[in-house]
Structure 1
Amino acid sequence: MQYRRLGQCGLQLSAFSFGAWVTFGRQVGRSQARELIALAHDRGVNFFDNAETYNAGAAEELMGDVLADLRFPRDSYCVSSKVYFGAVTDPKPTQRSLSRKHVIEACHQALQRLKVDYLDLYFCHRPDPDTPIAETVAAMDLLVRQGKVLYWGTSEWPAEAIEQAHRIAREQHLAAPVVEQPQYNLLHRERVEREYAPLYDTYGMGTTIWSPLASGLLTGKYRDGVPSDARLNQPGYEWLREELLDKGKGRVERAQRIAPIAEELGVSMTQLALAWCLANPHVSTVLLGASKLDQLAHNLDTLDKLPALDAAVKQRVEAAVG
């Protein structure tokens, strides 16, 4: 495993991390979750990502049970949660948002579900138009001072809002966000490469990127239609199918253009797409969301293929996808 600093802070995360979105409590049961987390940890993965809203809190409960059962030393791994959407299917106003009340209560609830004393990373899952950023920054600072959160960050916030959070933190001597969790892959590049460009050097922001395979598009699995067990067929994720396939006409065809390059290099489309993400120096860790052991092992094997992705190959891949 390779390890990278989370931006300019001192925390070192594994180049690949493991997340629970969609899979835990839905595609993955307890025995499978135990095997997946055990394999990941054995292969050097030290960051396990989660959120209050994943399967209405069930994903965190499942991960917490497994981590407690495996008894890894707590200082050998990092675990995260995210706050905003709430942990119930039909949240009341006080059960969601980035208000001081929900940020703090959601943290306590996540600690209980994950069976840990503190969160290594705590993300504001989306910007909240109804809560002043100053209120959210102060709430996160309080949790940091209490030792319940070690580092906090944002997920899919506009760069302007992140900069405002940093200004408030600097002016009021509060803990500032150190990480952003954006979507990033060969088909979705604008925010990480352009919008966030000023944030890396100015504020030392790291990134924990999600959907490196564009929800499977970059694996080639949708070339002949959507498999029955794919996440795009999961109940409640119709919006994702519409976003990727219905609205994004031509994405399947664009993704397939990397297949000949992968074959030439002796790697899979999956490994080529993951290696491309890792080639970005501003990517601190790439979140994997595998639901099967062989799938996770194959993804982690990408690290052995990295030397094949030199600057010339990277340029060919980008030109092919467009």
Structure 2
Amino acid sequence: MTAIGTGIDVSPLALGGTTFGWTSDEATSRQVLDGFLHAGGNLIDTSDSYSAWAPGNCGGESETIIGAWMAARGNRDRVIIGTKVSRHPEFAGLSAANVAAAADASLKRLGTGYIDLYWAHYDDPDVPLQETAEAFDALVRAGKVRAIGVSNYTGERIREWITIARRENYVVPVAVQPLYNLVKREAYERDIAPVAAAENLAVLPYQALASGFLTGKYRAESDLAGGIRQYMARGFYSEAGLAVVGVLEGIAREHGSTPAAVALAWLRGRPGVAAPIASARTLDQLASMMAFTRLQLTADQRSALDDVSARVPSV
């Protein structure tokens, strides 16, 4: 377990909630959630906007499924719930009124009295950062949120939030959620990692498996045809990226493991990373991911992954 803030101890992997109510129906979602808990996981990451983009959905479907699962299992005290605000169709942005209303809506869908880790999903340039920081502080002081984090913020804006919070005696963010994986390194390592290190922020990288690209399932342009997941993976596809997958597969064979497990083990070993975030549509995908908790990469294997991934273009 790794501590985030004060008293929040999280498992080495965070289970992403994007698939729940989208590519996983409720029954399958519950199987994955049960399997995650049984395998020793406890941190579930979702958002009030998951999955508003799917036909027939309006946002909050993932939270609703997680909430119903917790109620059915009676396990709220065994899980750490992280959710986000700013992208729900009815609660867009980070004004104080919107943050307060969105949090209450998330609490209702989750069927709980508190959110363990509440994220500002995307920066809102139209709202003064002090207003947003004060709104998040108010949620913590009201007991509705235990700790706060920022997602998709630049290093400069993270510093600005922390400066405001300290000046005004607001609650300070304890975590950052960036896009970071073996084929998307440069932006995070250049801009955000120095701030995370200086401020002791726990790092929870999302798209840890590059929308499935790092599992090895997309080996040619033709594999990317059709489906939303394939469309998302296209943003990670390149010849240099395929070279990374090749090294992952070689190391996986050496360990009798999977490329997904190796990719997660590399990411979990990066400075400041508390828990990579990855989604599983099925129990088989979950088992492939959770295998990384039993995997110890050698120094040579880490060096090989460092070197090949550093050659992936930053654009």
TM score, norm. by length of structure 1: 0.88
2:196 and 2:203 in contact (8 A); partners too: no
Q: Hey, what does 2:229 align to over in structure 1?
A: 232
Using the alignment, how far apart are the partners of 2:31 and 2:203 within structure 1?
27
Q: Hey, what does 2:82 align to over in structure 1?
A: 80
Using the alignment, how far apart are the partners of 1:34 and 1:111 within structure 2?
19
Residue 66 (structure 1) aligned to one of 66, 69, 94: 69
Are 2:3 and 1:5 equivalent residues in the alignment? yes
Q: Hey, what does 1:108 align to over in structure 2?
A: 104
Residue 290 (structure 1) aligned to one of 277, 280, 286: 280
Q: How does 1:115-194 map to 2 (within 5 A)?
A: 115-194=111-190
Q: CA RMSD in A?
A: 1.9
- Give 3-state SS (helix, strand or coil) of 1:81's partner: strand
1:19 and 1:287 in contact (8 A); partners too: yes
1:9 and 1:178 in contact (8 A); partners too: no
Are 2:236 and 1:244 equivalent residues in the alignment? yes
Using the alignment, how far apart are the partners of 1:320 and 1:258 within structure 2?
10
1:208 and 1:287 in contact (8 A); partners too: yes
Q: Which moved more, 1:97-106 or 1:276-285?
A: 276-285
- Give 1:320 deviation, angstroms: 2.6
- Give 3-state SS (helix, strand or coil) of 2:163's partner: helix
Percent of pairs with identical residues: 31
1:221 and 1:227 in contact (8 A); partners too: no
- Give 1:176 deviation, angstroms: 1.0
Question: Unaligned stretches of 5+ in structure 2?
Answer: 52-58
| CA deviations over 1:213-271 (Å, ceiling 9, x no partner) | 111111110014437896524xxxx4x255334xx565345433432233234322111
Q: Hey, what does 1:317 align to over in structure 2?
A: 305
- Give 3-state SS (helix, strand or coil) of 2:277's partner: strand
Question: Unaligned stretches of 5+ in structure 1?
Answer: none
Are 2:209 and 1:213 equivalent residues in the alignment? yes
Aligned pair count reads 302
Q: Hey, what does 1:16 align to over in structure 2?
A: 13
Using the alignment, how far apart are the partners of 2:131 and 2:110 within structure 1?
26
Using the alignment, how far apart are the partners of 1:298 and 1:254 within structure 2?
18
Using the alignment, how far apart are the partners of 1:311 and 1:132 within structure 2?
45
Q: Hey, what does 1:262 align to over in structure 2?
A: 252
Using the alignment, how far apart are the partners of 2:306 and 2:252 within structure 1?
13
- Give 1:15 deviation, angstroms: 0.5
Query: Match of 1:232, as an amino acid?
Result: R
TM score, norm. by length of structure 2: 0.90
| CA deviations over 1:72-117 (Å, ceiling 9, x no partner) | 1x3221112101112x3xx5xxx31010011110000000111111
Q: Hey, what does 2:38 align to over in structure 1?
A: 42
1:226 and 1:232 in contact (8 A); partners too: no
Q: Which moved more, 1:285-294 or 1:133-142?
A: 285-294
| CA deviations over 1:26-59 (Å, ceiling 9, x no partner) | 1111111111111111111111111011111111
Are 2:289 and 1:299 equivalent residues in the alignment? yes
| CA deviations over 1:265-314 (Å, ceiling 9, x no partner) | 432211111110111131111112001112101211211122xx122210
Using the alignment, how far apart are the partners of 2:304 and 2:227 within structure 1?
29
| CA deviations over 1:146-190 (Å, ceiling 9, x no partner) | 000110110010011111111111111110111111111111112
| Alpha carbons of structure 1 residues 276 and 243: separation in structure 2 relative to 1, 3 Å | same
Using the alignment, how far apart are the partners of 1:201 and 1:185 within structure 2?
18
- Give 1:130 deviation, angstroms: 0.2
- Give 3-state SS (helix, strand or coil) of 2:223's partner: coil
